[in-house]
Structure 1
Amino acid sequence: MNTRWQVSVYLWLCVSCVGIAMNASYAAQENNEYVPIERAKQQAFSKPKSALISRAVFNKEQPVESVLLSPDGLKMSYVIKENKRKQLWVYDIALDKHVKLITAHNLENLSWTADSNRLVYVDAKRVVFVGLSKQQLAQTRYRLSDANTLFVKTDSYNPDAFWLLKYDVSQSMYSLIKVDSHSNLKKDSHFKRNSDEQSDSHSHSKSDSHSKSDSHSNESIQYRSPLPIMNFWADKKAVRFVSLMGNDYQSIVQLLADGEREIIKCEVFDTCKIHHWSAQTHTLLLSGQIDNDTATLHAINTKTGIKKAITTENSPPFDASQFFVSPEGKPFLLGYETQYVHYEALTPNAEALLNRLTSRISDNIYRFTPDKSLTHWLVAEEDQQSGNVHFRLYLAESDTWISPLSHIEPSQTDATWSALRVPIQYQASDGMPLFGYLTLPSGYKASEVPLVVFPHGGPWNRSHGSYNRISQFMANRGYAVFEPNFRGSTGMGQAYMTSAQRDFGNGRVQQDIIDSVDYLLENGVGRADRLAIVGHSFGGFSAINALAFTPDKFSVAFAAAAPNNMSDTIRHYKSSIPAVFLPMRLPRFSALMGDITNRQDVSYLYEQSPDKHWQNIDKPLYMWAGAQDDRVAIEDVREFALRLHADGKAISLVSDAREGHSPNSSLAKDGYLYLLERALFSHLHGRMEEKMTPSLTRYFDKFTSIDTNGVSN
């Protein structure tokens, strides 16, 4: 059902986002189980040693992205990258025909219109409608006025309408706006709305449940609130439900003719997405944790208040992350990202369909996305050995499979160099069971190879069961790699996430990471005299933490886009992002990490940070940073590196003036991997592709700010 929307709450990208990856990946396994370490060690040792694979292989990009099935299931759109531009294509299933529509710099918020006859995207603040033939020109239907006006989605009923969320900074007021762009097009194909043109008649109080329109703009404010509108549900006539973010909780509110009624409260860190409402049965379908530890779909009777969690006896102890509802508004299918993947059928028809879908899925990573009627399904499979993504269509009515993109997708190859990667469970020093993913180099005794611990970013994120190019890269160089899902990680339920108890820095979360290393060493994985810690964003913070608080444990650390004091990073993030996002995200930061307006919280974060304890660092540190990073201030990174350098510590800093939080260009990605490779090779003595291209040499000459480690030597 395409009637839901939610602004992302994660402030930092996980390291897997450095490359091109699926937005959400699931690895197909018959049994979602943890693998015993001894079995993994034997399997990895029995494989032949792999050849040294070029960095370029690990940096390769997928040729196709943003694949979308139309609401009627008869067409599929996709994007092909062409240098720095993107081509938008459409495939007609009945005609078996591909048509190139446009080429643009950006295709943000790409989505289908309700009638499946056009595509909509945002580029340079323009909302653009694109017809499905070369004869139909792309038409600018609207221009977003500023950074605090967000395109939300196309309307589920009117093919000319779409939704915006606007934040008025002067009034501290959010407005949910519906725009009917049909007459905008008649008047001006490059229609632009300025804030000065908006009539005072648009000003509604929070309790207004009916929309008012400006005859000149065809915009109607459907709802206003001083609280952030996180998501909403609307039928053909009006908005019926909204989710509002408060300082202490989220409220799911029903909008009635005579006012508003709160249906349920959710924790600020719960997703609480509205999926469907039936006026006949008064049933609201809402996903989230709510009264459960793990997220699932909930049916709430809005008249009686009775709620029921929709689970089965086979539901795994993980948060459901995909929710499929039938056209009649009945729960149909749930998707879970477990150690690998699990789909749970909720009806006999869903079970029959799921059996047909999974019967043609190999042991790869996959994700299902249906059309509106749940009859045509887009299946995205990612090869767990190579990371290549393949898209297929399943037409349930005729039990037919189609591979429409086989002519441009990478061929199915046997990536014999790929290392074994398995989920393992371990116990933290305080007894809590945790898990992560272990990657072992092929053909080596696990006890004889160096060990790299690789904590994910976020921190409210997780390591997945999918292909991880950085882990595979390090394993190819001869290192065992472990990605711990420390407490605070998401996807494993509320208790797993909140048990961090805001104890970041040199606290419980960092101890979970150290405990994973100790567990592996005790079980014959890695050498205690050759340990490294590698991370990006929050993972980079953890890497610097390790050198500051456990200086005798690791031989070297690699930290990319890394904060050194979380309170400073939150302040920078607060000052660098559009104001529209702040009230949405800060309550979750306050609940899960710390309130930067509270002196005690700020002091605690500083006392537990490497910013305070930097003098303890006595092992080599390699850092990469993007000067355009809007999450981690480049000034803080440089000041920290200069402080270490002035004290005679071994520090290298590569600061790319053109990049943001993660490397984006091919050259920056190559430089990123080379810096990581050099750090591990110099101190753990694995393998290395030492040859530097002239362009890579120039890259380091240009962007290396500090280098006492001899990166380019």
Structure 2
Amino acid sequence: MIPIPTFIGALACCALLWPASLARANDSDAALHAAVAAERARPAAPRHPRTAFVSDHAPRAVQLSPDGRHVAYLRTQGQAHSLWLLPTQAGGEARRLLARTQAEQLLWSRDGRWLFVIAPRTLSILGLDGGGIRIPLGGSEQREVMRVDPSQPAAVVLRERVRDASGQRWRIVRLDAHGRRTPLWEDPHWVHEVAFDASGRLVALTRSEGDHNAIHRVDADGTLRSARRVEPMARASLLGITAQGDLLLRGDTGGNFKRVLRLDREGGLHTLHVDPHGEADLDGLALDPVTGQPLIASYRSTVAASYGIGPAEDRVAAISSHFAGRDLEIDVGRGPGAYWLVSERDSTLRDPRWHLYDPRSGAFRRILAQEVKASRPLPETALAQKIPFTYRASDGMRVHGFLLLPPGADPARVPLVAQVHGGPINHFRPGYDGIAQLLANRGYAVFQSNFRGSTGHGRDYMFASHGDYGNGRVQQDIVEGVRYLLAQGVGDPERVGIVGHSFGGYSTLLGVTFSPELFKVGVAGAPPADFGWSMKWLVDAGDQGARPDGSLIAMLRALSIDPTDPETYARLHAQSPVANAEKLRRPLLILAGGADRTVAIREVIHYAARLQLLGKQVSLYVEPGGGHSPVDPLPREAYVYLMETMLHSHLGGAKPDAPGVELRAYLQKNLRLVGPEFAAIAGSVRQSPRKAPQP
């Protein structure tokens, strides 16, 4: 029981805060209305092919060398890439270093003379003047690249497993550009990060210790000295060390938001930079290529913004002013005359734009424009602005979200689709989203909720779910966000749907099962039908459950969704879509990968079969050999075509373009259950019941 004086004091406090809170809510509503009006005033967008929204042919892994003299990048070529090198001096021609590679990540050596090219199974070390070696990754040693060694001219740090009769350990190895290996450390615990002093000596590491991580200093004789225990689900990534011996970190340990931190020798934690608006986690950080000190901090949970730290403050402010309103990633070249690389992104830019910035003159020069043009980018006029807003849940908590509207349309007369992100430890960002943009182009308003439990808005926000991931508080945030938008005049209340992938697919099943009066149709990609069972399977058999640091089970316990706890398991099952399958009254499309190692395909098929036996209207598509998400062009087109068709059939958005011969044949082969929405292309595929939706 709360003591009466405390209770009265709490009421008085609420009375004082209520007008300010109401003012914030009114300001948020007014900003949303203004943004909605601006979208309605825009010219209507022309229709574009569905493949244009999900294609991915622009340059990737674009990286500036530390000396600012070269930009390396990958050019997409079918299912592989080629590696190219562009001089930053005006007039320099790009040259190809590799004709074909499966690499997805590029790292520069500190001296700018070598490239570390990282593919799923191979590390290639390439010299700009020729020569190179290849090192296998993965395998029984589980070898992987941790980082470039900032203390050496040209070396990376590897982590690999060592197994013998006494068990297994984790070895940290320095590998230089010529293939020379230097063992640095062995540990029975999984080592996350390491830091070196200027001489190359290992001086600090972070490692997993049961349900938490810990930061240790390493003395010259190899003795570990505890520097900080990191709370469960907190982050404290080790960046490096200052000249004075303080450790540099990025994370949310010791506070709410992810930020730039300094851990002094006495264990004191100091914030070097945090979101000035107090609402977003740190999302990106650029370091000085010489000193390793933090130079640029970026935040992207609501409105994207980048800030210079110390000597970079004025230049970053100038760059941000030049690209006002854009999401920027900035890489800094070494020395006052070196070029900087600026990546310009936005919700209306499918493909980023890259620019070289000369810090001496303040001038900008665009690069890779022809590469982007070759990928046939969508015009910005065809894409919807992503509008950030907040709404108040029924328990008083402010919840974050985004809204996309078809340009030029009356917002009150368009169908509304709730798109739910995966994870759930994830969040929508203000950047480009292909599925959302496709739906907006087809005439739908799209609502993206960063419901409580999402990341990006601090630890308090993430833990505010209190494990209520069934038909409870988390799902309520999504439902109440839809109702909030309808009350603001956004969306036709008779034409509301819900879509999502992974956890978003699970939320979709919850929506059409428990809120059929609101959601008229659902499209669920890779959906767990029983969240408790799915998390237990993931721990026991899925790829993520095999993490060497045991972080998955620790994370689930910290979030109060431990599937090994009988009470939690029973609660999640009782609220699951599969246990309440008879309540489904709305048409449903399920999409899945036949070799998914995150959500078991047998769980998806079991749920679909149960719905079919109950006479529910369900369609099921399975990508043969597909993983958790479609990757290849044809499965990606199949995914969006099926979604378009399902939503058009029940919400009245634009009719999808007819599938080509190849796509039609692919769908006929891989549609396992077919509702009336897909009867025209089904051929001899077994039909799902043509049962009319119940009111």
Q: TM-score, normalised by structure 2?
A: 0.87
Which residue of structure 1 aligns with residue 595 of structure 2?
Answer: 628
Q: Call closer, same or farther: CA 1:605–1:311 in 2, change over 3 Å.
A: same
Q: Map 1:530-569 onto structure 2 (within 5 A).
A: 530-569=495-534
Greater displacement, 166-175 / 554-563: 166-175
Contact 1:501 1:592 in 2 (8 A): yes
1:168 Cα deviation after fit: 4.8
> Which of residues 306, 312, 316 is equivalent to 1:354?
316
1:121 Cα deviation after fit: 2.1
Structure 1: how far apart are the matches of 2:580 and 2:426? 26
Q: Call closer, same or farther: CA 1:83–1:325 in 2, change over 3 Å.
A: closer
- AA of the residue aligned to 1:506: N
Q: Does 1:79 align with 2:41?
A: no
SS in structure 2 opposite 1:291?
coil
Structure 2: how far apart are the matches of 1:254 and 1:582? 20
Which residue of structure 2 aligns with residue 222 of structure 1?
Answer: 184
Greater displacement, 464-473 / 539-548: 464-473
> Which of residues 556, 559, 562 is equivalent to 1:592?
559
Contact 1:504 1:608 in 2 (8 A): no
Q: Call closer, same or farther: CA 1:35–1:60 in 2, change over 3 Å.
A: farther
SS in structure 2 opposite 1:355?
helix
1:635 Cα deviation after fit: 1.4
- AA of the residue aligned to 2:149: D
Which residue of structure 1 aligns with residue 225 of structure 2?
Answer: 261
Q: Map 1:656-671 onto structure 2 (within 5 A).
A: 656-671=623-638
Structure 1: how far apart are the matches of 2:307 and 2:279? 13
Greater displacement, 258-267 / 473-482: 258-267
Contact 1:174 1:229 in 2 (8 A): no
Q: Call closer, same or farther: CA 1:580–1:167 in 2, change over 3 Å.
A: farther
SS in structure 2 opposite 1:409?
helix
SS in structure 2 opposite 1:45?
helix
Q: Map 1:15-164 onto structure 2 (within 5 A).
A: 36-94=31-89, 96-123=92-119, 125-133=121-129, 136-142=130-136, 144-146=138-140, 148-159=142-153, 161-164=155-158
CA offsets, 1:548-605, max 9 Å, x none?
A: 2223321100001111122332333332327444513321122125223322232222
Structure 2: how far apart are the matches of 1:419 and 1:87? 32
Greater displacement, 323-332 / 70-79: 323-332
Contact 2:453 2:463 in 1 (8 A): yes
Which residue of structure 1 aligns with residue 642 of structure 2?
Answer: 675
Which residue of structure 1 aligns with residue 236 of structure 2?
Answer: 272
1:115 Cα deviation after fit: 2.0
Which residue of structure 2 aligns with residue 447 of structure 1?
Answer: 412
Contact 2:43 2:408 in 1 (8 A): yes
Q: Does 1:403 align with 2:366?
A: yes
Contact 2:59 2:75 in 1 (8 A): yes
- AA of the residue aligned to 1:66: A
Q: Does 1:422 align with 2:416?
A: no
Which residue of structure 1 aligns with residue 693 of structure 2?
Answer: none
- AA of the residue aligned to 2:543: I
1:361 Cα deviation after fit: 1.3
SS in structure 2 opposite 1:586?
helix
SS in structure 2 opposite 1:454?
strand
1:416 Cα deviation after fit: 2.6
Which protein has the bigger helix share?
2
Structure 2: how far apart are the matches of 1:638 and 1:174? 39
CA offsets, 1:48-101, max 9 Å, x none?
A: 333332212212323211101112221110000111221000112247231101
1:517 Cα deviation after fit: 1.0
1:41 Cα deviation after fit: 3.1
Greater displacement, 397-406 / 250-259: 397-406
- AA of the residue aligned to 1:290: T
SS in structure 1 opposite 2:372?
coil
Q: Does 1:365 align with 2:361?
A: no
Sequence identity (%): 27
Structure 2: how far apart are the matches of 1:431 and 1:367? 35
Which residue of structure 1 aligns with residue 689 of structure 2?
Answer: none
- AA of the residue aligned to 2:351: N
Contact 1:165 1:174 in 2 (8 A): no
Q: Call closer, same or farther: CA 1:423–1:453 in 2, change over 3 Å.
A: same
Greater displacement, 381-390 / 560-569: 381-390
Contact 1:233 1:274 in 2 (8 A): yes
SS in structure 1 opposite 2:532?
helix
> Relative contact order, CA 8 A, sep 6+: which one is greater?
1
Q: Call closer, same or farther: CA 1:325–1:407 in 2, change over 3 Å.
A: closer
Q: Does 1:314 align with 2:309?
A: no
Greater displacement, 626-635 / 175-184: 175-184
Structure 2: how far apart are the matches of 1:149 and 1:604? 39
SS in structure 2 opposite 1:403?
strand
Structure 2: how far apart are the matches of 1:708 and 1:397? 63
Q: Does 1:601 align with 2:601?
A: no
Which residue of structure 1 aligns with residue 170 of structure 2?
Answer: 175
CA offsets, 1:371-413, max 9 Å, x none?
A: 3558532111125324221111213134342323122222887
Which residue of structure 1 aligns with residue 257 of structure 2?
Answer: 294
Which residue of structure 1 aligns with residue 304 of structure 2?
Answer: 341
Q: Call closer, same or farther: CA 1:336–1:553 in 2, change over 3 Å.
A: same
Structure 1: how far apart are the matches of 2:371 and 2:385? 28
Structure 1: how far apart are the matches of 2:384 and 2:200? 54
SS in structure 2 opposite 1:358?
helix
Q: Call closer, same or farther: CA 1:587–1:628 in 2, change over 3 Å.
A: same
Structure 1: how far apart are the matches of 2:275 and 2:136? 49
Contact 1:35 1:423 in 2 (8 A): no
Q: Map 1:692-703 onto structure 2 (within 5 A).
A: 692-703=659-670
Which residue of structure 2 aligns with residue 384 of structure 1?
Answer: 347
> Which of residues 201, 204, 211 is equivalent to 1:248?
211
Q: Call closer, same or farther: CA 1:523–1:182 in 2, change over 3 Å.
A: closer
SS in structure 2 opposite 1:695?
helix
Greater displacement, 695-704 / 435-444: 435-444
Contact 1:109 1:151 in 2 (8 A): no
Structure 1: how far apart are the matches of 2:192 and 2:532? 25
Superposition CA RMSD, Å: 2.5
Greater displacement, 292-301 / 396-405: 396-405
- AA of the residue aligned to 1:44: E
Q: Call closer, same or farther: CA 1:641–1:488 in 2, change over 3 Å.
A: same
The count of corresponding residues between Structure 1 and Structure 2 is 644
> Which of residues 607, 612, 621 is equivalent to 1:654?
621
Q: Which runs of 5+ in 1 are unaligned?
A: 1-31, 185-217
Contact 1:114 1:156 in 2 (8 A): yes
1:509 Cα deviation after fit: 0.7
Structure 1: how far apart are the matches of 2:53 and 2:156? 39
Contact 1:230 1:584 in 2 (8 A): no
Which residue of structure 2 aligns with residue 486 of structure 1?
Answer: 451
Contact 2:346 2:430 in 1 (8 A): no
1:636 Cα deviation after fit: 1.1
CA offsets, 1:411-432, max 9 Å, x none?
A: 8874333234311110011100
Which residue of structure 1 aligns with residue 492 of structure 2?
Answer: 527
Q: Call closer, same or farther: CA 1:540–1:143 in 2, change over 3 Å.
A: closer
Structure 2: how far apart are the matches of 1:328 and 1:181? 20
- AA of the residue aligned to 1:153: R
> Which of residues 504, 510, 514 is equivalent to 2:479?
514
1:690 Cα deviation after fit: 3.6
CA offsets, 1:18-64, max 9 Å, x none?
A: xxxxxxxxxxxxxx988633223322322333333221221232321
- AA of the residue aligned to 1:167: R
Structure 2: how far apart are the matches of 1:697 and 1:431? 49
Q: Call closer, same or farther: CA 1:174–1:71 in 2, change over 3 Å.
A: farther
Structure 1: how far apart are the matches of 2:618 and 2:378? 40
Which residue of structure 2 aligns with residue 27 of structure 1?
Answer: none
